[in-house]
Chains A and B, each alone.
Chain A
Amino acid sequence: MVQAINNALDIKLSEDKNIVVYGEDVGVAGGVFRVTEGLQKKYGAERVFDSPLAESAIVGTGLGMALAGLRPVVEMQFDGFSYPAFNQIISNVSRMHNRSRGKFNVPMVIRFPYGGGINAIEHHSESPEALYAHIPGLKVVVPSTPHDAKGLLISAIESDDPVIFMEPKRIYRAIKQEVNDEKFTIPIGKAKILTEGTDVTVVAFGAMIRECQRAMAMAEEAGISVELIDLRTIYPIDKETIKNSIQKTGRMVVVAEANQSFSVGSELIAIANEEAFLYLEAPPKRVMGFDTIVPLAQGEKYYMITPERIFYEIEKTINY
């Protein structure tokens, strides 16, 4: 996935002179995960560069650039370090288009690696998609495969609205997939049905897709037919696809690693109730992180969602 993201940046940088890429360690070193490796060499330090260590100013300057003709793609080094920029994001980035009555667009992407399962120290394992999806004016995108990462990132860079692009760091290098070298896009705002099924709808995104696929194999053995949906975009959320699926299966399990309360899972359950209430045969269920801080490495075995736990909840939902 690291390569696919690098490739998406490469394609856009070569195609559009107004794109700049910056953040902490993204230039000379090519990023702590090497996502931007080689790009400074290829496009020069005026377009791909290291900034001082200050997330709020990285995002704030990005907004300024976006207002004045550039299309910045900025990096927050980790999920937990996007918060110093929260004020800029919630107070300015997300509002400028509305405040200026459409005079200003904010064609800006804020990328960062997110999620747990990598034995990291504090603040390196978080899933803040709900925090950002809650902010009106932002789009929030989370790819689950190298292919999707490339197509979605290109769409994000081409979007005239600000996009939060969350990269599942746990599978940065875990999933091998041949990705077409050519330019292609994947639409923002559309979920994808990965596997069709009839008994239960499982909705997930990012690093949890792989865990769901493993759980699905267990469910299959138990004779349960799962319809797996990759949300791909958190906001604008694809109600249509979710609604249709629940109307078909009558059941929904949401899988995500973020804290469960006030989350994307909560939102999906609201959608299930609002759009498919009369079709439900069991209460929609969240299989999500506890409402705790993501534990340090030794405790992650409890916190991180496993295929077994997903299967357990699928089975309970089926047997409800």
Chain B
Amino acid sequence: MIFDEFNPSEDKILRVIDNDGEVIRPDLIPDLTDETVVKAYKTMLFERVADEMAISYQRQGRMFTYPSNKGHEAIHAAAGMIIGPDDWLVPAFREIGVMLAKGVTMKEIFLYYNGNEHGSNFKNAPRVLPVNVPIGTQLSHAVGIGYSIKYRKKNDIVFTFIGDGGTSEGDFSESLNFAGVWQVPVIFTIQNNQYAISVPVSTQTKSVNLAVKSIAFGIPGIKVDGNDFFAMYLAYREASEHARTGKGAVLIEALTYRSGAHTTSDDPSRYRTKEEEERWGLSDPMPRLKKFMERKGIWKEDEDSLRDQYKNEIDNQFLEAENFAPYSLDDVFGYMYTEMPEDLKKQKEEYEQFLTWKGSRR
């Protein structure tokens, strides 16, 4: 198992290609067809374009606060290729690419960030939970789902995500501990993008890295270059084999960088330097994979026209979200319980009376 070679307590990192797309570990390069690699890149490009568009809609005042996914595409593309149709996805809130791979649509994502809960009801993705805002609380849900899978003797596995900052929450440790004790099929990914809003990882932990925390819970862990698509792919392939064959949970630390602001409300210049951003920019997962493809001579597409095509698609999705049925009073009351209690019905009626009164005053 690759996890044995890259022991996190020695702070080793799994990396297959370098920043120039050159293969540094030929023995580890996954045997993917050229088309598959090209497809992976296109998936990443789609996510990046969607992210740029989301930020621009927000700037135009057509959408509310949105957290950028820029820089995390390799992690998402790799997970998206390994996660199966019956596997579960328990996200934090910065995994749009994986959600898309599971059948969530940009329309739904836009709807959510446009302030409508219908954007959390993923119509074509039954095994995807809504994004999880209270940091860290999602991980135990993943463990519970894992328990259910094991109990029902299924082969499905669970992918769950958390940020570097999130590893400081008690929920992180509690969940990993449960996962170890119960030996459940859960792949935990820490997207270590160096920051929790303004707070750097060095303020979160004294550990040599985050993957090393797996050791305390008795599960395999590995630190991976999260900007290296091949490394992420390899890690996920081995992790899923491990989990799917009843061996239990796995922890992956994906080392990356939050290239954008925390959200559209944040201004990173308050807490980090341009130089740092530029330094990390050199390992951006997209040019890196592109250079690999160019070296191999397998990239023959015109990126600009691909971008245009994606922009079109994404804009249509956005328009669908924008033209979604207007938010109704039923949307406020109708989903609180499977059956609405009498008291809530009365509150709704009283409010409707107010609306009638208000209407009659105009």
Give the complex CA separation of A113 and B42 in angstroms: 42
Give the complex CA separation of A202 and B114 in angstroms: 35
Give the complex CA separation of A301 and B348 in angstroms: 14
Chain A, 298-316, CB within 8 A of any chain B CB: 298-303, 308-309, 312
A56 within 8 A of B: yes
Give the complex CA separation of A25 and B65 in angstroms: 18
Give the complex CA separation of A54 and B196 in angstroms: 12
Q: Are A291 and B199 in contact (CB under 8 A)?
A: no
A29 within 8 A of B: yes
Q: Are A298 and B199 in contact (CB under 8 A)?
A: no
Q: Are B344 and A50 in contact (CB under 8 A)?
A: no
A24 within 8 A of B: yes
A12 within 8 A of B: no
Chain A residues whose C-beta falls within 8 Å of the C-beta of B348 in the assembled complex? 290
Partner of A290, one of B112, B134, B351: B351
A189 within 8 A of B: no
Chain A contact residues, majority secondary structure:
loop
1/0 per residue A186-215: CB within 8 Å of B? 000000000000000000000000000000
Q: Are B135 and A53 in contact (CB under 8 A)?
A: yes
Partner of B203, one of A52, A303, A312: A52
Q: Are A302 and B329 in contact (CB under 8 A)?
A: yes
Number of residue pairs spanning A and B whose beta carbons lie under 8 angstroms apart: 118
Q: In the complex, which residue of chain A has the Cβ closest to the Cβ of B263?
A: A121
Q: Are B327 and A299 in contact (CB under 8 A)?
A: yes
Bin the interface of chain B by size: 35 or more
Chain A residues whose C-beta falls within 8 Å of the C-beta of B117 in the assembled complex? 295-296, 299
Q: Are A119 and B115 in contact (CB under 8 A)?
A: yes
Chain B residues whose C-beta falls within 8 Å of the C-beta of A260 in the assembled complex? 347
Q: Are A83 and B197 in contact (CB under 8 A)?
A: no
1/0 per residue A25-62: CB within 8 Å of B? 10011101000000000000000001111101100000
Partner of A54, one of B64, B169, B347: B169
Q: Are B197 and A29 in contact (CB under 8 A)?
A: yes
Partner of A121, one of B65, B166, B204, B332: B65
Chain B, 192-250, CB within 8 A of any chain A CB: 196-199, 203-205
Give the complex CA separation of A51 and B329 in angstroms: 41
A67 within 8 A of B: no
A236 within 8 A of B: no
A277 within 8 A of B: no
Q: Are B169 and A84 in contact (CB under 8 A)?
A: yes
1/0 per residue B245-265: CB within 8 Å of A? 000000000000000000001
Give the complex CA separation of A121 and B357 in angstroms: 31
Partner of B114, one of A28, A32, A123, A298: A298
Q: Known contacts A84-B169, A297-B115: does B354 contact A312 (CB below 8 Å)?
A: yes
Chain B residues whose C-beta falls within 8 Å of the C-beta of A54 in the assembled complex? 168-170
5 cross-chain CB contacts under 8 A = A25-B197, A28-B270, A57-B168, A296-B112, A302-B351
With A50-B198, A295-B327, A299-B331 given, can you name 18 additional A-B contacts, CB distance below 8 Å? A28-B270, A29-B271, A53-B135, A53-B196, A56-B170, A83-B134, A119-B65, A119-B115, A120-B65, A121-B64, A123-B134, A290-B332, A291-B336, A291-B344, A292-B336, A298-B327, A299-B332, A300-B115
